[in-house]
C-alpha cells in the first residue's frame, strides 16, 4: 500500500491547517494511501547542529530524537504533506526546525538520498486574507527545500482568514484524493 506521511505544524484547538490536513488525509485514504501522522508540537525535535556528519557519510542525521521515526517513514513513503500556521509572517518555528533537519537528505555530492517520485503537498493557514501578497514566497521557499531533494510538488493550499471554511475543506480533500 502507498504511504502518505503527514506532518502537522499546528495542534491548536480549532486549528484550520489541522482540519484541512484531516480532510487531505481522508482524500488520500480514499485514493488508496495509508497515512502516518506526525504532530510536530508533540515531537522531541532538536535543531540541526550543523556538524556535517550526514553530508560527509551519506547518512540520516545522527541526533537521536523523534526525527528518527520520521526518517524511517520518509524513506518508505510515496507522498509527504507538510502544514503550518503562519506565525509572524512566516512558517511557524517548529516546522522550520523540522525542515532544517532535512540537510541529511542530500548525499555528499548533493544528489538526493530520497527515493525518486515522492509527491509533496503543503497546506498553510494565515490570519491575513487568502490573497495577501507577501506570504506565497515564504511558503514557496519552504516547499523548495523538499522539491530541491527531488520531490514533486502536486498541491499547495493557502487558507486565509477570509477563506470559506467549507470550500477550504473541500479543496484539501480533493488535493488528497488526487494524489
Ligand X SMILES: Cc1cc2nc3c(=O)[nH]c(=O)nc-3n(C[C@H](O)[C@H](O)[C@H](O)COP(=O)(O)O)c2cc1C
Residues at the interface with ligand X (CB under 6 A) = 10, 12, 15-18, 85-89, 125-128
Using the minimum distance from each CB to ligand X, give the nearer residue, 10 or 106: 10
CB of 17 to ligand X, least distance (A): 3
In the block, cell 525518486 appears at: 116
Asked if residue 154 lies in contact with residue 119, where contact means CB atoms within 8 angstroms, the answer is yes
Strands (DSSP E) found in 20-179: 33-39, 79-87, 90-91, 119-125, 152-159
For the chain, helix, strand, coil in percent to 5 are: 35, 25, 40
CA–CA distance, 12 with 40 (Å, rounded to integer) = 12
Using the minimum distance from each CB to ligand X, give the nearer residue, 17 or 106: 17
Using the minimum distance from each CB to ligand X, give the nearer residue, 86 or 157: 86
Residue nearest to ligand X (CB): 85
Using the minimum distance from each CB to ligand X, give the nearer residue, 148 or 161: 161
CB of 85 to ligand X, least distance (A): 3
CB of 96 to ligand X, least distance (A): 14
CB of 20 to ligand X, least distance (A): 8
Q: What are phi and psi of 75, to 5 degrees?
A: -70, -15
Amino acid at each position: 500500500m502507498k504511504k502518505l506521511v503527514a506532518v502537522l505544524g499546528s495542534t491548536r484547538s480549532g486549528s484550520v491547517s489541522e482540519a484541512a490536513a484531516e480532510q487531505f488525509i481522508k482524500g488520500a485514504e480514499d485514493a488508496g494511501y495509508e497515512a502516518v501522522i506526525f504532530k510536530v508540537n508533540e515531537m522531541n525535535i532538536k535543531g540541526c547542529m550543523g556538524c556535517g556528519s550526514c553530508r560527509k557519510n551519506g547518512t540520516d542525521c545522527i541526533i537521536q530524537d523523534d526525527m528518527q521515526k520520521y526518517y524511517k517513514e520518509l524513506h518508505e513513503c510515496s507522498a509527504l504533506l507538510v502544514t503550518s500556521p503562519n506565525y509572524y509572517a512566516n512558517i511557524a518555528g517548529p516546522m522550520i526546525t523540522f525542515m532544517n533537519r532535512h540537510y541529511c537528505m542530500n548525499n555528499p555530492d548533493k544528489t538526493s538520498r530520497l527515493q525518486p517520485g515522492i509527491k509533496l503537498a503543503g497546506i498553510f493557514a494565515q490570519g491575513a486574507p487568502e490573497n495577501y501578497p507577501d506570504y506565497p514566497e515564504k511558503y514557496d521557499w519552504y516547499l523548495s527545500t523538499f522539491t530541491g531533494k527531488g520531490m514533486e510538488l502536486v498541491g499547495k493550499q493557502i487558507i486565509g482568514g477570509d477563506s470559506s471554511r467549507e470550500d477550504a475543506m473541500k479543496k484539501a480533500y480533493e488535493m488528497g484524493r488526487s494524489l
